[in-house]
Amino acid sequence: MRITVNGTPREVSARPDTPLLWVLRDELGMTGTKFGCGAGLCGACTVQVNGVAQRSCQMALGDVGSAQITTIEGIGTPEKLSVLQTVWVEHQVAQCGYCQSGQIMQAAALLATTPRPTDTEIDDAMSGNLCRCGTYPRIRAAIHDAAQRLQKV
Amino acid sequence: MSRLGTITRRSFLVVSAAVAGGVAFGYYKYQQDPANPLTAAAGETVFNPWVIVRADGVTVITPRAEMGQGIHTTLAALVAEEMDLNWDQVRAEHGPASSAYANLAVAGAGLPFADYRDSRMKTLAHEAMDVMGKFIGAEATGGSTSTVDAFTRMRKAGAAARAVLVQAAAARLKTDASKLHTEGGAVIAPEGTRIPYADLATDAAKLTPPADPVLKDPKAWKLLGTSLPRLDMVAKVTGTAGFGIDTRLPGMLFASVRATPRLGGTMQSFDATEAKAMPGVKAVVDLGDAVAVAATNTWIAFKALETLKITWGPAPYPETTDAIFAEIAKAFDGAPNSTLRDDGDVYKAVAATKPIRAEYRVPYLAHATMEPMNATALFADGTLTIWAPNQAPTVVRDKCAEAVGIAADKVTVHTTFLGGGFGRRAEFDYAVQAAKLAKALPGTPVLLTWTREEDMRHDFYRPGAIARMEGAADASGPTAFKAAIAVPSVYANQAKRILGMAPPGPDKIAVEGAFDQPYAIPNYRVSGHISPVAVPVGSWRSVGNSHNAFFHECFLDELAHAAGLDPVQMRLKLMATESPVSAKVVAAVAEMSGWGSPLPAGHARGLAFTYSFGTPTAEVIEISQSAAGIKLEKMWIAQDMGQALDPRNIEAQMISGAIYGLSAAMMGEITFSKGEVEQANFNDYDALRMQQMPVFETRILQNGAHLSGVGEPATPPAAPALANAIFALTGKRLRELPLNNAVTFA
Ligand code: FES
Ligand code: FES
């Protein structure tokens, strides 16, 4: 089966009912996308499917088809951070960091559709992304900051 | 029994019995530093167990678990400061499991003294425990001790490395060392000649470093005391930080495990016919008390486990929550294990008045780290390599060695980043499972990942606890305060697991957060009753403080209310002589929150204070009644850790600790039915989400005499502050957690 991840076509051999999460992590070795609950409850596995934030633990490989999958590895690298990642660094958001790939992918999808989100819009978009370290206040501040910066670009 | 076990048996006796004798015992021998476990690779020079000079900078070994608290950054800064490095020249690595990195402070933290009273006795005892810590050799992260333990040692390591680098430069320049200074990772001569450390490293390593190098005056600090960009931040926002679960090795298999849901019970039999026939399943392995499936991906392993038919033995504890708590309550019938506070005559004082009596209760709690338990293992040629997100690498090493029947020196432990720890990863169960599985698959690396459900149901839980409180107060303040706390012993549980035996003596952890609070109440007694209930329990962020602060601070609020006293003024008076540092923290939070000033209708405030891990912390929360339920509006936290090494990171820990405490207080509860934990995932064991966040305001104070920890102390006051606010809002005194059993939150 062939899927497109971060713009690159990839050949994968997992069964069609395998959740995309495990295809990314175990077959393709793309470990930036995290396993937290396997049940759509925590958001750690969030990726974008055609730009929309989705839980990769809830999406079967067979349903991916020709959709464009974007993972955390696809939005920036340590050498070339995206605006959102730069802001995340400036706000020193991450603690353990385990939830952060999912938080950033969710936030990026939010800003793509809602360039100047209100607190309530941020809450609505981010409420499915659990952070056991409690980095929420800095996530919120970082999203507001990123929104401003992206508008100036 | 492992080497670790036999040695510590004696040292633990010291804790409970003769402390002074402990100083003599082994003191001389263990004053010597253990051998340096680092060996230099090509192009590197190793100075001591903490400093490696490389061509492009300096790598600092930061041997504490990075589980979110930013410890790698702070520990690296200790060395970098003394070496006069620029921050961009610094890298951090966790380093190998070694007794060279033993946490000396964590052992001292177990001593049965109230921390805020700095007595001669305590100092002596701490010195003894420092030696014992080295003796035990446990490299561990916990008890908010990492910075305390490293504060002098790692600065000295940096200063010693700097000293020999300067000496080497002096020899090369044929000048006197006193004429040289250091800056930006180089030695600089008066006329401006600049020799980078990397050029001097080989020469310098041949010199004998000073045994007691002079440390910088804190006034000259450039890095310490400032907010540094965390060394792990870029990796953590790009998905490139290596957590345990991200370990990838050529030819590796992916596995998962099912252990008995009746914790501590047996596995009687299992049928794996169906699992074995599944495509992608490579092995089904009997681990004795659990079954593991290794497959070509983790999901296949999860699916295969679901097909197993396993017969489990009974649980070694009562089957239901109610029966478990009935068992815990029985501990009140026996003599107390400890009465670590017994000021005045509480019985007489209580008899002389009409006392207030109340019973409080808290549930078992899971840690629910974001990264589920996992470990990777490779067993080959009689050696074992483990990659594990863990808080105690030397314990992991020894326990895995024991499990596969090889010597500890044949085991290498790599400590990865931890996707949360909170005390859960001070255990070693997941690593031992991976080790046993790897032994059955020699030559094949295998990553064992638990499902969230396995993680939720196989924790070492924060124990459930009950407190029976009695007290009285008049216009002068509380006149009597008596707390009896019944709780299973975390200390004994962990000691049994790690050492094979539970030391006798008073269990400080069972009563911490209650017996050691800085209040001058004339008749004041706190006793601990240890329950033998066999549900596995362990350290949960702030440990005993997590429940005792709730009991203590809510009951103090009850007394204040009964006597018509203001909770802030009452505390300030009780603390004035006991702990002026604590009083300043309470005064700060009162000022920040506008305590006493009028609030809009339907709003209320609550206050709580806890002195834990040497760090007095006060919190005020403001809540309101909304149509959807009680809403958290704003939270103020004031904390005094003596010396703030990295303010922005400390602020993160203060807020993180409070949120962790609030989540548990509002909705955290592990219950049992048929001997099994009923919760499974984040649907029935959730935590606060972004939309529930109050606005936070923090203040760091630095009046304390010593540097103290910040990872845990903000957790204990959160629950009582909230419960006290709910009383102020609704008149309902909630004495049981979680609070959402009694009220609705927005
Ligand atoms: S792992 Fe997918 S939502 Fe939690
Ligand atoms: S940063 Fe640790 S779970 Fe979010």
> Model pTM?
0.93
CA distance A147 to chain B (A): 17
Burial of B218 (0-12, 13-18, 19+ CB in 10 A): exposed
Query: In chain B, where are the structural domains located?
Result: 33-103+138-238, 244-314+373-449, 321-365+461-741
Q: Which of B103-107, B232-236, B312-316 has the lowest mean pLDDT?
A: B103-107
CA–CA separation, B617 and B388 (whole Å):
33
> What is the pLDDT, as a whole number, of residue B112?
58
> What is the pLDDT, as a whole number, of residue B28?
24
* B106 token code pair: 């964590």
CA–CA separation, B537 and B546 (whole Å):
13
Query: In chain A, where are the structural domains located?
Result: 2-74, 83-152
* B252 token code pair: 């590796």
> Which ligand sits nearest to residue A42's alpha carbon?
1
Phi, psi dihedral angles at B413 (to 5 degrees)? -115, 120
Query: Chain-wide mean pLDDT for chain B?
Result: 90
Q: CA-based Rg of chain A, rounded to a whole angstrom?
A: 15
Pairing of strands B44-48, B51-54: antiparallel
> What is the pLDDT, as a whole number, of residue B129?
46
CA–CA separation, B143 and B490 (whole Å):
13
Burial of B590 (0-12, 13-18, 19+ CB in 10 A): buried
> What is the pLDDT, as a whole number, of residue B118?
58
- A40 to each of A102, B649, B682, B746, how far by Cα in Å? 12, 31, 9, 22
> What is the pLDDT, as a whole number, of residue B743?
98
* B456 token code pair: 């939720």
- Residue B123 banded pLDDT, cuts 50, 70, 90: very low
**Regarding the domain with residue range A2-74, which homologous superfamily does it belong to in the CATH classification?**
Beta-grasp domain (3.10.20.30)
C-alpha torsion sign, points B638, B644, B646, B650: negative
Average pLDDT over residues B669-693: 98
CA–CA separation, A120 and A124 (whole Å):
6
- Residue B505 banded pLDDT, cuts 50, 70, 90: confident
Inspect the interface and report whether the beta carbons of A92 and B649 lie closer than 8 Å. Answer: yes
Torsion of CA A31, B231, B430, B63, to 10 degrees: 150
> What is the pLDDT, as a whole number, of residue B111?
57
Closest CA relative to residue A60, chosen from A73, A51, A52, A69: A69
- Residue B261 banded pLDDT, cuts 50, 70, 90: very high
Average pLDDT over residues B639-646: 96
Contacts of B696 in chain A (CB under 8 A): 137
Average pLDDT over residues B227-233: 97
With contact defined as beta carbons under 8 Å apart, do B50 and B618 qualify? no
Q: According to the CATH classification, is domain A83-152 in 3.40.50.720?
A: no
With contact defined as beta carbons under 8 Å apart, do B141 and B392 qualify? yes
Q: Give the 3-state secondary structure of residue A103.
A: helix
Torsion of CA B177, B183, B188, B191, to 10 degrees: -120
Q: Nearest-CA residue of chain A relative to B369? A: A132
Average pLDDT over residues B273-298: 98
Q: Give the 3-state secondary structure of residue B462.
A: strand
Phi, psi dihedral angles at B93 (to 5 degrees)? -140, 145
The β-bridge partners of B365 are B462
Torsion of CA B97, B103, B104, B106, to 10 degrees: -140
Inspect the interface and report whether the beta carbons of B451 and A29 lie closer than 8 Å. Answer: no
* Interface residue of B234, B306, B690 to substitute, partner A, most A CBs within 10 Å: B690
HSE value, Cβ hemisphere, 13 Å, CA-based, for B235: 18
Is the pLDDT at A2 greater than 50? The verdict is yes
Distance of CA B405 to the CA centre of its chain: 30
* B8 token code pair: 């510590």
> What is the pLDDT, as a whole number, of residue B35?
66
- Residue B6 banded pLDDT, cuts 50, 70, 90: very low
> What is the pLDDT, as a whole number, of residue B124?
44
CATH of domain B321-365+461-741: 3.30.365.10
Element (H, E) at A113: helix A100-113
> What is the pLDDT, as a whole number, of residue B9?
24
CA–CA separation, A29 and B720 (whole Å):
45
DSSP character at residue B243: B
**Where are any strands of DSSP class E within B287-426?**
290-295, 309-312, 338-343, 356-362, 374-380, 383-388, 411-415
> What is the pLDDT, as a whole number, of residue B134?
43
Q: What is the DSSP string of B75-100?
A: HHHHHHHHHT--GGGEEEE-----GG
First to last CA, chain B: 52
Q: What is the DSSP string of B503-526?
A: --S--HHHHTTTTT-----SEEEE
Name A11's Cβ contacts closer than 8 Å, sequence gap at least 6: A1, A2
Inspect the interface and report whether the beta carbons of B420 and A98 lie closer than 8 Å. Answer: yes
Q: What angle do CA B556, B557, B561 make, to 5 degrees?
A: 120
* B409 token code pair: 């020196």
Is the pLDDT at B122 greater than 60? The verdict is no
With contact defined as beta carbons under 8 Å apart, do B49 and B100 qualify? yes
Q: According to the CATH classification, is domain B33-103+138-238 in 3.30.830.10?
A: no
CA of B451 to the centre of ligand 1 (A): 11
Is the pLDDT at B356 greater than 50? The verdict is yes
Is the pLDDT at B364 greater than 50? The verdict is yes
- Kindly report the number of other CB atoms within 10 A of residue B485's CB atom: 30
**Where are any strands of DSSP class E within B543-628?**
603-612, 615-626
With contact defined as beta carbons under 8 Å apart, do B632 and B732 qualify? no
Average pLDDT over residues B510-515: 97
With contact defined as beta carbons under 8 Å apart, do B548 and B355 qualify? no
Average pLDDT over residues B19-23: 21
CA–CA separation, B473 and B355 (whole Å):
8
* B387-416 pLDDT, tens digit each: 999 999 999 999 999 999 999 999 999 999
CA of A37 to the centre of ligand 1 (A): 5
* B453-479 pLDDT, tens digit each: 999 999 999 999 999 999 999 999 999
As for the ipTM of the complex, it is 0.98
CA–CA separation, A129 and A46 (whole Å):
9
Phi, psi dihedral angles at A45 (to 5 degrees)? -95, 15
The β-bridge partners of B181 are B188
* A42-86 pLDDT, tens digit each: 999 999 999 999 999 999 999 999 999 999 999 999 999 999 999
* B653 token code pair: 């820990």
Is the pLDDT at B571 greater than 60? The verdict is yes
* A95-151 pLDDT, tens digit each: 999 999 999 999 999 999 999 999 999 999 999 999 999 999 999 999 999 999 998
Query: Chain-wide mean pLDDT for chain A?
Result: 97
Is the pLDDT at B3 greater than 50? The verdict is no
CA–CA separation, B329 and B267 (whole Å):
30
CA–CA separation, B663 and B370 (whole Å):
14
* B518 token code pair: 């800085």
Pairing of strands B383-388, B411-415: parallel
DSSP character at residue B1: -
Angle between helices B197-205 and B146-173 (to 10 degrees): 90
DSSP character at residue B315: -
Phi, psi dihedral angles at A38 (to 5 degrees)? 70, 10
Regarding predicted confidence, which is higher, B46 or B207?
B207
A89 touches chain B (CB under 8 A): yes
Closest CA relative to residue B49, chosen from B213, B194, B161, B162: B161
> What is the pLDDT, as a whole number, of residue B575?
97
> Which ligand sits nearest to residue B656's alpha carbon?
2
* A54 token code pair: 């989705």
> What is the pLDDT, as a whole number, of residue B34?
55
Q: What is the DSSP string of B185-226?
A: TEEE-TT--EEEHHHHHHHHHTSPPPSSPPPPPGGG-SSTTS
With contact defined as beta carbons under 8 Å apart, do A126 and A106 qualify? yes
With contact defined as beta carbons under 8 Å apart, do B524 and B711 qualify? no
**Where are any strands of DSSP class E within B86-138?**
90-93
Diameter over CA atoms, chain B: 83
- Kindly report the number of other CB atoms within 10 A of residue B221's CB atom: 14
Q: Which of B11-25, B137-151, B282-296, B316-330 has the lowest mean pLDDT?
A: B11-25
Tokens 């066999």, residue located: B534
* B145-165 pLDDT, tens digit each: 888 888 988 999 999 999 999
Residues with CB under 6 A from ligand 2: A 94-100, 131-133, 135; B 68, 370, 420
With contact defined as beta carbons under 8 Å apart, do A94 and B657 qualify? no
Q: Do domains A2-74 and A83-152 have the same CATH topology?
A: no
Average pLDDT over residues B316-326: 98
Is the pLDDT at B27 greater than 80? The verdict is no
* B405-454 pLDDT, tens digit each: 999 999 999 999 999 999 999 999 999 999 999 999 999 999 999 999 99
A24 touches chain B (CB under 8 A): no
Q: Which amino acid is at B258?
A: R
What percent of chain B is modeled with pLDDT above 70?
Answer: 91
From the CA of A95, give the closest atom in ligand 2: 1
CA of A21 to the centre of ligand 1 (A): 9
Inspect the interface and report whether the beta carbons of A37 and B248 lie closer than 8 Å. Answer: no
With contact defined as beta carbons under 8 Å apart, do A76 and A82 qualify? yes
| Residue to mutate, A89, A126, A131, A138, ligand 2, most ligand atoms under 8 Å from C-beta | A131
Q: Give the 3-state secondary structure of residue A96.
A: coil
Q: Do domains B33-103+138-238 and B321-365+461-741 have the same CATH topology?
A: yes
- CATH C-level class of B244-314+373-449: alpha beta
CA of B230 to the centre of ligand 2 (A): 15
CA–CA separation, B49 and B52 (whole Å):
8
* B342-352 pLDDT, tens digit each: 999 999 999 99
CA–CA separation, A33 and B260 (whole Å):
30
